Amino acid sequence: MMLKNWSRILLAVFTFSLVLSLSFTASAFSIEKQKNILIIHSYSEGLQWTSEQNAGIIENITKSNNNCAIFVEYMDWKNYPYQNNLDSLYNYLKYKYSDKKLDLIITTDDAALTFALENRGDLFSNAPIVFSGVNQEKISQIQGKYENLTGVMEEIDPTDTIRMARKINPDIENLYLMVDNSESGVTTSKIILEKVKQMNPEIKVIPMNNMSFSTVIDTVGRLDNKSMLLFATYYSDGTGSIIDFNLACREVSKYSAVPTYHLYDFGLNNGAFGGNMLSGRLYGNYAAELALRILEGESADNIAIYSPKATRKVFDYNQMKRFNISRDKLPSDTEIFNEPFSFFETYRLLVLAVAAVFIFLILFVMILLIYIKKIRRIRKELHISNEELTQTYEELVATDDELKNQLHEISEIQRNLAESEEKYTYLALHDVLTGLPNRRSLFEDADRILHKGNKKAALLFIDMDNFKYINDTMGHEFGDLLIKAASDRLSLDLLEKSTLYRLGGDEFIILAEETGQDRAEQLTADILYSFKENFFVKNIGLHISFSIGIAIYPKHGNNIEELIKSADIAMYKAKESGKNRYVLYDKIMNKDFTERMNIEKHLHTAMDNNEFELFYQPQFDLNTNKVTGLEALLRWRSPELGLVSPMKFIKVAEDTHLIIQLGEWVLIQACDFLSHLHKQGLTDMKMSVNISTLQIFQSDFNTKVLKIIDYFKLDPSSIELEITETVLIESFEVVYDKLLKLREKGIGIALDDFGKGYSSLSYLKQLPITTLKIDKTFIDNVSLIQENKTITQHIIKMGRSMGISVIAEGVEHNDQLEYLKKYECDKIQGYLFSRPLPKEEVEKLLKGLK
């Protein structure tokens, strides 16, 4: 019998081991190789239709468990529908993706699809293509001509919208169509004309693509009750003038005498009345579904092109009110946009239930009063029958009531004491603003977690980037709301057995039990990714990011104080590295942290002690062979630290906001020296001054710049402000408005270190840039011997084609100079001509060149 039992036990152990082994094997092979996906958009990133499709695609792909790397490119075809744009794009993508195998291409709208089909053999590894936002006419042109292709058809059909419009106003006979003369505008107009003719030939369609925008405004303002207005695709008027889509929609709606129906849902909040509107996000979702099927192994040729329902019946409440249109004239499945909140309509069942309970309570009280009255009558009868007995009873009742009242008072006092104790205990361990556990709670939890035998744990020190600026400019109430919103989003990314604490201000800590380095880094990456979406506080949208330091227990500290210190140092390292990132603590950082603190300590007194000095690097014009400009460069010679590199102290100055005062000093000194040179007869000389992000963020930045230039009686065109691409990425809208006003005054705007960062062509086209400075990394390896292997020539051609002056930085060798001359670079700056010099030596150099 025992032998039989032992055999069963051994069989069970063997079975369990086999299952465990197979499970491990399956898990090991479940990690797939990374798939590379390229998304090509026909239009610019700023076009809402494009951004909605992009968001829909990425939204669905990132929800899957596929290991995917997504690359996004914008053709900006509406702004630049020219062959040289395609040639430049071809060269740029060939350079960028020559060594990268693509597994899938997703295109939006016609231009991107055509480009991908014509060039995927040369550029994109013959990858399968999934398209989105392509209408019926385009698909009829390509269907059956290409292999390895599928997609989502954009079915333009205004008939449902027209039916809804005629239900609201049966007198409609004329349809005024807002389209432009672009490729998509012509195609859309043709499809709408055909659909309307099929639906009702009696409706007269009047396209407004050949009208100037002022004529359009005048026309829509005179429309009568027999007319409806349908807004389709619109990017330029009949004269070719470019008009922002949203602005055009708002202006047309503002002056129109009839409701403005819209073909696309991004017209909402831009004056659109409504209709059965196409949704770019839905098209992006559907295209992503096809893409995922292909990534999972299905052939694109086996997936039919289909036209899903990607429309929404939406109407704007404000426009309904403006034109006095009631809800009962709209379809029952209609969404009402911007409708004010109604408590009764939202909580109808709850209100009725509360009313029913209230009526029941009233009936109960009435019955109770009748019953009490009956008891009183009985008592009165008993009192008449036996007065002495009643008197005794009343005395007993009075005594009993008094005792009950005393007992109730004692119970109430005990309950209040218990609630107060619980409340004070909670407040002692939690942050009042966010409700998160506080520093004291962290230390109590850490004492328990780190000394209960845990072999590992991780601590994340999280600090919001640029919060001090937001708090100073938007107000403390706004800052508190932002902290609360940020803490709510941080809470969504927590691992099991991990807790989020607020230390104070904009600092948070996550303590994760049983977590090693790999899981901690994954958690941190998830947090940074989750903050890519904007916040909306008081209807103001803004993007925030975090710098995060990671410390691992017990490797980086044996107690909570050591872990916090290590993670804090790593967090500072993340900020120095550019913010919006995380850094794992290393003992080497202690030295860097100490050095940074030492720099910060002496930086506060450096300006008062006159320790700063400006050097100037000449800019040599290759067309005139003259020095036509100087770049002002800041130097710090500290009595205690010696000559401190700008790479070290500029970042500290920005973190401490000393850069605002220091940047103003630099501009004053540079303008003073330029004024001196002009008085010496060098009236053509220009001055370039680097501007920090924080300076531009100041509300009085433009006023200060203009006041300084006016003080030294300088022509604004002789001053050029240099900004970096980081400024554009973090705060494009603020930068755009301010720089445009400065440019209108004649001040030049230079984009520094071009190519080193984001380098978006859309930013270059929109901003009032006058000068493009090619980063030194693009100059180091150029020569006429290997000229076809560099992208520098394309950058120069691009700048010149846009009418922008191009300066090459870091020119140190003659072969670099010959290369730049050949491709007609405007100016050079570097050690080949001159190092940065103090102002006395600059004067000598300029006088010697006369």
pLDDT of residue 207: 93
- Left if phi > 0, otherwise alpha if psi is -120 to 50, otherwise beta: which for 275? left
Task: Give backbone dihedrals phi and psi of 607, rounded to 5 degrees, phi first.
Answer: -70, -40
pLDDT band at 98 (very low <50, low <70, confident <90, very high): confident
Least confident among 26-40, 99-113, 398-412, 732-746: 26-40
Compute the half-sphere exposure of residue 219: CA atoms within 13 Å on the CB side of its CA. Answer: 19
Q: DSSP readout, 171-184?
A: T--EEEEE--SSHH
pLDDT of residue 510: 95
pLDDT, the chain, mean: 85
pLDDT band at 258 (very low <50, low <70, confident <90, very high): very high
pLDDT in tens, 414-470: 676 566 566 777 888 899 899 999 999 999 888 888 876 667 899 999 999 888 777
Q: What is the mean pLDDT of residues 710-723?
A: 95
pLDDT of residue 21: 43
In angstroms, rounded to a whole number, what is the distance separating the alpha carbons of residues 676 and 679? 5
Q: What is the mean pLDDT of residues 531-549?
A: 88
The H or E element that residue 817 is part of is: helix 814-822
pLDDT of residue 703: 95
One of 3.20.20.450, 1.10.760.10, 3.40.220.10, 3.40.50.300 is the CATH number of 601-848, namely 3.20.20.450
By residue count, the chain amounts to 850
Beta bridge pairs of residue 231: 178, 262
pLDDT of residue 19: 39
Helical pair 439-449 and 387-429, crossing angle rounded to 10 deg: 80
Residue 215 tokens, joined: 């004529």
Q: Looking at per-residue confidence, does 757 or 522 come out higher?
A: 522
Q: What is the mean pLDDT of residues 817-823?
A: 91
The label of the residue with tokens 């190789």 reads: 33
Sign of CA dihedral 677, 679, 682, 688: positive
pLDDT of residue 18: 41
Q: Looking at per-residue confidence, does 469 or 138 come out higher?
A: 138
Report the percent of the chain where pLDDT is more than 70. Answer: 90
Beta strands 507-513 and 498-504, pairing class: antiparallel
Q: Do residues 616 and 633 touch, judged by C-beta distance below 8 A?
A: yes
Task: Give backbone dihedrals phi and psi of 419, rounded to 5 degrees, phi first.
Answer: -65, -40
Over 80: is that where the pLDDT of 371 sits?
yes
Q: What is the mean pLDDT of residues 790-817?
A: 90
pLDDT of residue 390: 66
Buried b (16+ CB within 10 A) or exposed e, 190-215: ebbeebbeeeeeeeebebbbebebee
Protein fold of 159-262:
Rossmann fold (3.40.50)
Task: Give backbone dihedrals phi and psi of 432, rounded to 5 degrees, phi first.
Answer: -65, -40
pLDDT of residue 422: 67
Q: What is the DSSP letter of 47?
A: S
Q: Is 94 exposed, middle or buried (0-12, 13-18, 19+ CB in 10 A)?
A: middle
pLDDT in tens, 279-326: 888 888 999 999 999 988 899 899 988 888 878 888 988 988 888 988
pLDDT of residue 408: 79
Q: What is the mean pLDDT of residues 514-524?
A: 92
Least confident among 488-502, 609-623, 701-715: 488-502
Q: Looking at per-residue confidence, does 11 or 96 come out higher?
A: 96
Q: Looking at per-residue confidence, does 475 or 151 come out higher?
A: 151
pLDDT band at 222 (very low <50, low <70, confident <90, very high): very high
CA distances (Å), origin 183, targets 249, 342, 392, 451? 19, 45, 103, 69
Q: Check: CATH 3.90.870.10 for 35-154? A: no
pLDDT of residue 654: 83
Q: Do residues 455 and 485 touch, judged by C-beta distance below 8 A?
A: no
pLDDT of residue 763: 64
pLDDT of residue 572: 87
pLDDT band at 47 (very low <50, low <70, confident <90, very high): confident
pLDDT in tens, 157-180: 898 899 888 988 999 999 999 998
In angstroms, rounded to a whole number, what is the distance separating the alpha carbons of residues 748 and 730? 21
pLDDT of residue 410: 65
The H or E element that residue 561 is part of is: helix 560-576
Q: How many helices (H) and strands (E) does the chain have?
A: 30, 29
pLDDT in tens, 325-365: 888 888 888 888 788 766 655 566 777 888 888 888 898 88
Highest mean predicted confidence (pLDDT) among 267-276, 472-481, 708-717, 732-741: 708-717
Helical H segments across 531-657, by residue range: 560-576, 589-606, 646-655
Compute the half-sphere exposure of residue 747: CA atoms within 13 Å on the CB side of its CA. Answer: 24
Over 80: is that where the pLDDT of 367 sits?
yes
Closest CA to 77 of 156, 211, 180, 184: 184
pLDDT of residue 413: 63
Over 80: is that where the pLDDT of 130 sits?
yes
pLDDT in tens, 481-507: 999 999 999 998 888 889 999 998 899
Q: Do residues 220 and 252 touch, judged by C-beta distance below 8 A?
A: yes
pLDDT of residue 1: 40
pLDDT of residue 23: 42
One of 3.30.1300.10, 3.40.50.700, 3.30.70.270, 3.60.21.10 is the CATH number of 439-587, namely 3.30.70.270
Closest CA to 108 of 158, 60, 154: 154
In angstroms, rounded to a whole number, what is the distance separating the alpha carbons of residues 279 and 219? 28
Over 80: is that where the pLDDT of 766 sits?
no
The label of the residue with tokens 């630099």 reads: 666
pLDDT of residue 756: 62
State how far Cα 578 lies from the chain centre. 17
Q: What is the mean pLDDT of residues 513-522?
A: 91
Least confident among 586-590, 599-603, 835-839: 586-590
Rg (CA), the chain: 36
In angstroms, rounded to a whole number, what is the distance separating the alpha carbons of residues 694 and 684? 30
Q: Looking at per-residue confidence, does 467 or 399 come out higher?
A: 467
Q: Is 262 exposed, middle or buried (0-12, 13-18, 19+ CB in 10 A)?
A: buried
Q: Given strand 546-553, what is the order of strands in its sheet?
A: 498-504, 507-513, 457-464, 546-553, 581-584
Least confident among 22-26, 413-417, 609-613, 687-691: 22-26
Q: Looking at per-residue confidence, does 616 or 602 come out higher?
A: 616
